[in-house]
Amino acid sequence: MQKESKRCTMYEDDTCLCSIEGIMGILSKKWALLIISAIGNNQKLRYNELEKKLDKISPKTLADRLKELENANIIKRESFAEIPPRVEYSLTKEGAELRDAVMPLMKWVSSKDFQK
């Protein structure tokens, strides 16, 4: 059962779907969950390491997804003042919580025989 408020459609369990819409706009994009998973599995990764782990991702797509995930406060980009410059990506607290929340879904999908 739904009840309308000025800002959101609320359901019986007081779940507001508006917040889900925002995060789904990011997570539904190709590669987003794989990037979160790769970083979470390794704690910190550099751009080139991510590119290798994700094999077929284009450099532009990787750069775009990293910016989107950083803007959503899911990953943290840390630059080091070195020569050559070094940048590492890690999950924020929110990113780690998100990864923990989607891991059961990822395990479920991997146990099924879905065609790729």
Convert the pLDDT of each residue in 81-111 to its tens digit: 989 889 999 999 999 999 999 889 888 888 8
For residue range 12-24, what is the model confidence (pLDDT) as tens digits?
Answer: 666 676 777 777 8
pLDDT band at 72 (very low <50, low <70, confident <90, very high): very high
Task: Name the amino acid, one letter, at 20.
Answer: I
Tell me the pLDDT band of 52, cut-offs 50, 70 and 90: very high
According to the model, what pLDDT value does residue 4 have?
46
Average pLDDT, the chain: 86
CATH of region 30-111: 1.10.10.10
